Chain A
Amino acid sequence: MSGNWGYGGSVLGRVDLYASFQLTGAQTWSKPVQYKNTRSTTEVVFTGDLINSAPGATGNPVPGKWSIYNAGSVPGGLTRSWSPNGYKSYDNTMWDHSQVHQWSWKTSGYSGYWYAYIKSICTRTSDKVTYRFYSVNQLPANAYGAGWRS
Protein backbone atom coordinates (compact mmCIF):
# COMPACT_ATOMS: atom_id res chain seq x y z
CA MET A 1 0.00 0.00 0.00
CA SER A 2 1.09 3.57 -0.61
CA GLY A 3 -0.15 6.93 0.52
CA ASN A 4 0.59 10.47 1.53
CA TRP A 5 0.82 11.39 5.20
CA GLY A 6 0.92 14.76 6.85
CA TYR A 7 0.02 17.10 9.66
CA GLY A 8 -2.37 20.03 9.91
CA GLY A 9 -3.36 19.82 6.30
CA SER A 10 0.20 19.69 4.97
CA VAL A 11 1.63 16.65 3.26
CA LEU A 12 4.91 15.67 4.87
CA GLY A 13 5.74 12.61 2.82
CA ARG A 14 4.66 9.58 0.92
CA VAL A 15 5.11 6.08 2.28
CA ASP A 16 5.33 2.79 0.41
CA LEU A 17 4.61 -0.37 2.41
CA TYR A 18 4.87 -3.91 1.16
CA ALA A 19 4.43 -7.41 2.52
CA SER A 20 4.36 -10.69 0.62
CA PHE A 21 2.61 -13.65 2.25
CA GLN A 22 3.31 -17.31 1.58
CA LEU A 23 1.67 -20.38 3.09
CA THR A 24 3.36 -23.67 3.88
CA GLY A 25 0.97 -25.83 5.85
CA ALA A 26 0.14 -24.02 9.08
CA GLN A 27 2.98 -21.57 8.65
CA THR A 28 2.44 -18.12 7.16
CA TRP A 29 5.67 -16.41 6.15
CA SER A 30 5.81 -12.72 5.33
CA LYS A 31 8.90 -11.87 3.32
CA PRO A 32 9.79 -9.29 2.37
CA VAL A 33 8.16 -6.85 4.75
CA GLN A 34 9.31 -3.44 3.57
CA TYR A 35 9.06 0.26 4.35
CA LYS A 36 10.08 3.29 2.31
CA ASN A 37 9.30 6.93 2.97
CA THR A 38 10.14 10.07 1.03
CA ARG A 39 10.90 11.88 4.29
CA SER A 40 13.43 10.86 6.92
CA THR A 41 11.64 9.18 9.78
CA THR A 42 12.53 7.91 13.23
CA GLU A 43 11.41 5.18 15.60
CA VAL A 44 10.21 3.14 12.66
CA VAL A 45 8.62 -0.05 13.92
CA PHE A 46 7.19 -3.02 12.02
CA THR A 47 4.90 -5.48 13.74
CA GLY A 48 3.51 -8.84 12.69
CA ASP A 49 0.57 -10.70 14.10
CA LEU A 50 -1.77 -13.56 13.32
CA ILE A 51 -5.48 -13.13 13.85
CA ASN A 52 -8.26 -15.68 13.90
CA SER A 53 -10.48 -14.09 11.30
CA ALA A 54 -12.84 -15.42 8.68
CA PRO A 55 -13.76 -13.23 5.70
CA GLY A 56 -15.74 -10.23 6.85
CA ALA A 57 -15.03 -10.81 10.52
CA THR A 58 -12.98 -8.59 12.80
CA GLY A 59 -11.37 -11.55 14.49
CA ASN A 60 -9.04 -11.73 17.45
CA PRO A 61 -5.29 -12.11 17.78
CA VAL A 62 -4.01 -15.65 18.17
CA PRO A 63 -2.14 -15.57 21.49
CA GLY A 64 1.62 -15.51 21.33
CA LYS A 65 2.01 -14.62 17.66
CA TRP A 66 2.68 -10.90 17.92
CA SER A 67 6.22 -9.86 17.00
CA ILE A 68 8.07 -6.59 16.56
CA TYR A 69 10.98 -5.35 14.44
CA ASN A 70 12.66 -2.08 15.29
CA ALA A 71 13.88 -0.49 12.08
CA GLY A 72 15.17 2.61 13.88
CA SER A 73 15.78 5.79 11.91
CA VAL A 74 15.26 5.52 8.17
CA PRO A 75 16.60 8.20 5.81
CA GLY A 76 14.17 9.42 3.18
CA GLY A 77 14.22 7.40 0.00
CA LEU A 78 15.74 4.28 1.51
CA THR A 79 13.95 0.94 1.79
CA ARG A 80 14.14 -1.01 5.02
CA SER A 81 13.13 -4.66 5.32
CA TRP A 82 12.27 -6.83 8.29
CA SER A 83 15.58 -8.65 8.58
CA PRO A 84 16.86 -11.21 8.35
CA ASN A 85 13.87 -13.32 7.37
CA GLY A 86 10.69 -11.35 7.72
CA TYR A 87 7.91 -12.56 9.99
CA LYS A 88 6.64 -16.12 10.42
CA SER A 89 3.64 -17.41 12.30
CA TYR A 90 2.61 -20.99 12.96
CA ASP A 91 -0.78 -22.05 14.24
CA ASN A 92 -2.98 -25.06 13.69
CA THR A 93 -5.54 -24.40 16.40
CA MET A 94 -7.86 -22.08 14.45
CA TRP A 95 -9.93 -22.68 11.35
CA ASP A 96 -9.33 -19.25 9.87
CA HIS A 97 -6.31 -16.98 9.80
CA SER A 98 -5.20 -13.63 8.53
CA GLN A 99 -1.69 -12.27 8.96
CA VAL A 100 -1.41 -8.61 9.89
CA HIS A 101 1.38 -6.09 9.52
CA GLN A 102 1.54 -2.62 10.96
CA TRP A 103 4.18 0.00 10.29
CA SER A 104 4.52 3.09 12.48
CA TRP A 105 6.92 6.00 12.39
CA LYS A 106 7.68 9.44 13.76
CA THR A 107 9.38 12.44 12.23
CA SER A 108 11.34 15.24 13.87
CA GLY A 109 9.53 18.46 14.63
CA TYR A 110 6.11 16.85 14.95
CA SER A 111 4.38 15.17 17.83
CA GLY A 112 2.76 11.79 17.77
CA TYR A 113 3.17 8.96 15.30
CA TRP A 114 1.71 7.79 12.05
CA TYR A 115 0.71 4.22 11.35
CA ALA A 116 -0.67 2.01 8.63
CA TYR A 117 -1.69 -1.63 8.65
CA ILE A 118 -2.80 -4.33 6.27
CA LYS A 119 -4.32 -7.76 6.76
CA SER A 120 -3.73 -10.66 4.40
CA ILE A 121 -6.38 -12.53 2.49
CA CYS A 122 -7.97 -15.02 4.88
CA THR A 123 -6.80 -18.61 4.95
CA ARG A 124 -8.64 -21.70 6.10
CA THR A 125 -7.97 -25.29 7.08
CA SER A 126 -10.16 -28.36 7.18
CA ASP A 127 -7.59 -30.80 8.55
CA LYS A 128 -5.16 -28.93 10.84
CA VAL A 129 -2.41 -29.67 8.35
CA THR A 130 -2.89 -27.57 5.24
CA TYR A 131 -4.19 -24.02 5.09
CA ARG A 132 -5.30 -22.46 1.83
CA PHE A 133 -6.00 -18.87 0.84
CA TYR A 134 -9.57 -17.88 0.16
CA SER A 135 -10.14 -15.96 -3.08
CA VAL A 136 -8.62 -12.50 -3.40
CA ASN A 137 -11.64 -10.53 -2.19
CA GLN A 138 -12.06 -12.57 0.98
CA LEU A 139 -10.59 -10.22 3.54
CA PRO A 140 -11.17 -9.68 7.25
CA ALA A 141 -13.11 -6.62 8.36
CA ASN A 142 -10.98 -3.46 8.50
CA ALA A 143 -8.52 -5.05 6.12
CA TYR A 144 -6.41 -1.94 5.97
CA GLY A 145 -6.17 1.35 7.72
CA ALA A 146 -3.94 4.25 8.58
CA GLY A 147 -3.86 7.30 10.78
CA TRP A 148 -2.07 9.48 13.27
CA ARG A 149 -2.13 9.33 17.04
CA SER A 150 -0.78 11.70 19.63
Chain B
Amino acid sequence: MNEFPPRYRDYLSSPGDLDPQGSVHREDHVHDDRPFEDSVVIGRLRGQDVWHAVWQGEREALGEFDGTRTEAIAWARDKSPRCLIYSEAAGDVVPLGDDEPGKHG
Protein backbone atom coordinates (compact mmCIF):
# COMPACT_ATOMS: atom_id res chain seq x y z
CA MET B 1 0.00 0.00 0.00
CA ASN B 2 2.80 2.44 0.83
CA GLU B 3 4.22 2.85 -2.61
CA PHE B 4 5.11 6.41 -1.64
CA PRO B 5 7.55 7.49 1.07
CA PRO B 6 5.93 7.29 4.50
CA ARG B 7 6.76 10.93 5.08
CA TYR B 8 3.89 11.94 2.91
CA ARG B 9 1.27 9.51 4.22
CA ASP B 10 1.70 9.44 7.98
CA TYR B 11 -2.07 9.45 8.35
CA LEU B 12 -2.03 5.82 7.26
CA SER B 13 0.13 4.67 10.13
CA SER B 14 -0.25 7.08 13.02
CA PRO B 15 -2.14 6.04 16.12
CA GLY B 16 -5.43 7.75 16.65
CA ASP B 17 -5.86 10.55 19.12
CA LEU B 18 -9.56 11.14 18.66
CA ASP B 19 -12.44 9.19 20.06
CA PRO B 20 -14.65 9.21 17.01
CA GLN B 21 -18.35 9.71 17.20
CA GLY B 22 -20.97 8.02 15.17
CA SER B 23 -21.36 4.50 14.05
CA VAL B 24 -19.40 2.52 11.55
CA HIS B 25 -21.21 1.96 8.31
CA ARG B 26 -20.47 -0.38 5.47
CA GLU B 27 -17.44 0.34 3.38
CA ASP B 28 -17.61 -1.31 0.05
CA HIS B 29 -17.84 -0.46 -3.56
CA VAL B 30 -21.02 0.90 -4.99
CA HIS B 31 -22.97 -1.98 -6.43
CA ASP B 32 -25.46 -0.88 -8.98
CA ASP B 33 -26.63 -2.97 -11.90
CA ARG B 34 -28.08 -0.02 -13.76
CA PRO B 35 -26.06 1.15 -16.76
CA PHE B 36 -23.97 4.20 -16.05
CA GLU B 37 -25.41 7.51 -17.16
CA ASP B 38 -23.27 10.62 -17.26
CA SER B 39 -24.47 13.72 -15.45
CA VAL B 40 -23.53 17.29 -14.65
CA VAL B 41 -23.71 18.66 -11.12
CA ILE B 42 -23.62 22.42 -10.57
CA GLY B 43 -22.88 24.14 -7.29
CA ARG B 44 -22.02 27.62 -6.11
CA LEU B 45 -18.50 28.01 -4.80
CA ARG B 46 -18.51 28.95 -1.15
CA GLY B 47 -18.15 32.67 -0.59
CA GLN B 48 -18.02 33.48 -4.28
CA ASP B 49 -20.44 34.44 -7.00
CA VAL B 50 -19.03 31.65 -9.14
CA TRP B 51 -20.86 28.48 -10.14
CA HIS B 52 -18.83 25.33 -10.58
CA ALA B 53 -20.06 22.53 -12.85
CA VAL B 54 -18.62 19.03 -13.08
CA TRP B 55 -19.45 16.71 -15.97
CA GLN B 56 -19.38 13.31 -14.32
CA GLY B 57 -18.14 10.29 -16.19
CA GLU B 58 -18.04 6.70 -15.06
CA ARG B 59 -14.42 6.79 -13.92
CA GLU B 60 -13.37 10.42 -14.13
CA ALA B 61 -14.62 13.93 -14.47
CA LEU B 62 -15.13 14.55 -18.18
CA GLY B 63 -14.98 18.31 -17.86
CA GLU B 64 -15.39 21.27 -15.54
CA PHE B 65 -16.70 24.79 -15.93
CA ASP B 66 -16.65 27.91 -13.78
CA GLY B 67 -18.80 30.93 -14.55
CA THR B 68 -22.05 32.63 -13.82
CA ARG B 69 -25.07 30.54 -12.93
CA THR B 70 -26.56 31.11 -16.37
CA GLU B 71 -23.32 30.16 -18.10
CA ALA B 72 -22.91 27.05 -15.96
CA ILE B 73 -26.45 25.89 -16.73
CA ALA B 74 -25.92 26.40 -20.46
CA TRP B 75 -22.66 24.47 -20.31
CA ALA B 76 -24.28 21.67 -18.35
CA ARG B 77 -27.21 21.30 -20.73
CA ASP B 78 -24.78 21.09 -23.61
CA LYS B 79 -22.95 18.18 -21.97
CA SER B 80 -25.64 15.94 -20.54
CA PRO B 81 -29.42 15.53 -20.39
CA ARG B 82 -29.07 14.69 -16.70
CA CYS B 83 -28.26 17.91 -14.85
CA LEU B 84 -28.50 18.69 -11.15
CA ILE B 85 -27.98 22.00 -9.39
CA TYR B 86 -27.67 23.22 -5.85
CA SER B 87 -30.87 24.96 -4.78
CA GLU B 88 -30.56 27.44 -1.95
CA ALA B 89 -34.31 27.19 -1.39
CA ALA B 90 -34.17 23.42 -1.00
CA GLY B 91 -30.78 23.42 0.70
CA ASP B 92 -29.83 20.48 -1.46
CA VAL B 93 -28.92 19.37 -4.93
CA VAL B 94 -32.02 18.98 -7.11
CA PRO B 95 -32.68 18.20 -10.77
CA LEU B 96 -32.20 21.24 -12.96
CA GLY B 97 -35.61 22.85 -13.39
CA ASP B 98 -36.78 21.90 -9.90
CA ASP B 99 -34.69 24.78 -8.55
CA GLU B 100 -36.87 27.41 -10.17
CA PRO B 101 -38.84 29.81 -7.93
CA GLY B 102 -42.04 28.28 -6.67
CA LYS B 103 -40.78 24.71 -6.80
CA HIS B 104 -39.77 24.80 -3.14
CA GLY B 105 -41.55 26.38 -0.25
Contacts and interface: CB of A to CB of B under 8 A. Distances in A.
Interface of A: 20, 22-27, 29, 45, 47, 49, 52-57, 59-61, 66, 68, 90, 92-96, 100, 102, 104, 113, 115, 117, 119, 124-125, 128-130, 132, 134, 137-145, 147, 149
A66 B12 CA distance: 12
A141 B84 contact: no
Interface residues of B, number: 46
**Residues of A contacting B: mostly:** strand
Contacts of A147: 10, 14
A149 B21 contact: no
Contacts, number: 151
Given A54-B26, A55-B24, A47 B84 contact: no
Contact of A56 (B4, B20, B84): B20
Contacts of B11: 49, 100, 102, 117, 119, 142, 145
Contacts of B52: 22, 24, 29
B1 A66 contact: no
Interface in B22-74: 22-30, 32, 36, 39, 41-43, 45-46, 52-54, 56, 58-61, 64
Interface of B: 1, 4, 6-12, 14-18, 20-30, 32, 36, 39, 41-43, 45-46, 52-54, 56, 58-61, 64, 82, 84, 92-93
Contact of A27 (B20, B21, B54, B58): B54
Contacts of A57: 24-25, 27
Given A25-B54, A130-B41, A55 B23 contact: yes
Contacts of B42: 24
B8 to A, nearest CB: 5
B1 A59 contact: no
A66 B41 CA distance: 23
B25 A104 contact: no
Given A45-B7, A102-B9, A102-B11, A56 B41 contact: no
9 contacts: A24-B41, A54-B27, A56-B23, A57-B25, A57-B27, A61-B1, A96-B25, A104-B8, A143-B20
A95 B27 contact: yes
Contacts of B9: 47, 49, 61, 66, 102
